[in-house]
Amino acid sequence: MEHYGESLFVRDDQESRRLKVLCDVFDPLATTTLDRLGVRPDARCLEVGAGTGSIARWLAQRAVDGEVVATDIDTSGLRGLPEDNITVLRHDVTSGEFPESSFDVIHARLVLSHLPERDEVLRRMRSWLAPGGFVLIESFCWFPIDSSPHPVYRQVLRRWSDLIRRSLGTDSWWARTHPGSFAKLGFSEVGANTVTQNLRGGTPLADFWRLTITMSHDQLIGKGYLTEAELSAAYLLLEDPDFWDLSPALVQAWGHKEQPLAAGPLETTPAAQH
């Protein structure tokens, strides 16, 4: 098993561009849910695996009298963040600690599903929360791929997820059930929301997935997961405006430590109620 960023998701220009597209496409979903959960002006916020820092910046604008700690194992994308109420920290969430009750808001997008220690990380995040605070975790879930009517698209995304599972320990299906982990770990007011997006070739969403697969092109071929022909066919589909399918779904799951202090929580889905 290797570490994130070692040979997959290496932070080069192409990965920086992919992360930028990720933010353009997915930030509105994150910020809508953060707003509905309630970020108070004096909130102390932790953005884990902050990437390019777009959500850290947004949190800093909401928590004007509070503070934001933006962490990552690679902080190169966080250089341009305003310094006023944002602290950038090189920090590995699988081993680094924070004192108990340090934060009111903790957010991590597309980080925990890559970490084999994900449930233990969530347990430690709960201890970092102050009473009333919440954790919001966002992760992709592969179920729309399993039912895709397009064999090439289905095969390429599945084989890519096999590559990252075997190399990093990424679980592309964990998100489907992980609201249950919040409940088991003692969070209250647990909730979840799953967004399934229609994917059309040539759109920013399709571009994000094309860039994601391209990043692993050589490994996918070199390790025998896919052929050059299969990959070329998938890239063509993802650029074709006549191609319509569903992208991997985004699962947002959250839980509070004791009772929420701020705005009321979102309605919970039946699967997430406890």
Task: Map the footprint of ligand SAM across residues 73-92, applying CB under 6 A.
Answer: 73-74, 92
> Considering the complex, what minimum distance in angstroms separates the CB of residue 242 from ligand SAM?
29
Q: Which is nearer to ligand SAM, 4 or 225 (CB)?
A: 4
* Rounded Cα gap, residues 9 and 163, in angstroms: 12
Residue 114, phi then psi, degrees to nearest 5: -85, -10
> Considering the complex, what minimum distance in angstroms separates the CB of residue 227 from ligand SAM?
26
CA angle 198, 252, 108 (to 5 degrees): 115
Q: Which is nearer to ligand SAM, 181 or 189 (CB)?
A: 181
Report the Cα–Cα distance between both ends of the chain, in Å, rounded.
35
Residues whose CB is less than 8 angstroms from the CB of residue 152 and which lie 6 or more positions away in sequence, other chains included: 230, 233, 234, 237
Q: Which is nearer to ligand SAM, 104 or 138 (CB)?
A: 138
SS3 18: helix
Q: Which is nearer to ligand SAM, 49 or 191 (CB)?
A: 49
Q: Does 152 bind ligand SAM (CB under 6 A)?
A: no
Segment contacting ligand SAM (CB under 6 A): 72-80, 139-147, 148-156, 173-181?
72-80
> Considering the complex, what minimum distance in angstroms separates the CB of residue 112 from ligand SAM?
9
Residues whose CB is less than 8 angstroms from the CB of residue 142 and which lie 6 or more positions away in sequence, other chains included: 157, 158, 161, 172, 173, 248
Q: Burial code of 102-139, b = ≥16 C-beta within 10 A, e = fewer?
A: bbbbbbbbbbbbbbeebeebbebbbebbbebbbbbbbb
CA torsion angle 244 248 249 255 (round to 10): -170
* Rounded Cα gap, residues 22 and 19, in angstroms: 5
> Considering the complex, what minimum distance in angstroms separates the CB of residue 121 from ligand SAM?
8
**Total residues at the site for ligand SAM (CB under 6 A)?**
22
Q: Please identify which residue in 8, 34, 63, 72 interacts with ligand SAM, judged by CB under 6 A.
A: 72
Q: Please identify which residue in 31, 38, 46, 51 interacts with ligand SAM, judged by CB under 6 A.
A: 51
Segment contacting ligand SAM (CB under 6 A): 66-74, 80-88, 148-156, 236-244?
66-74
Applying CB under 6 A, the residues found at the interface with ligand SAM are 4-5, 19, 22-23, 48-52, 71-74, 92-94, 109-111, 114-115
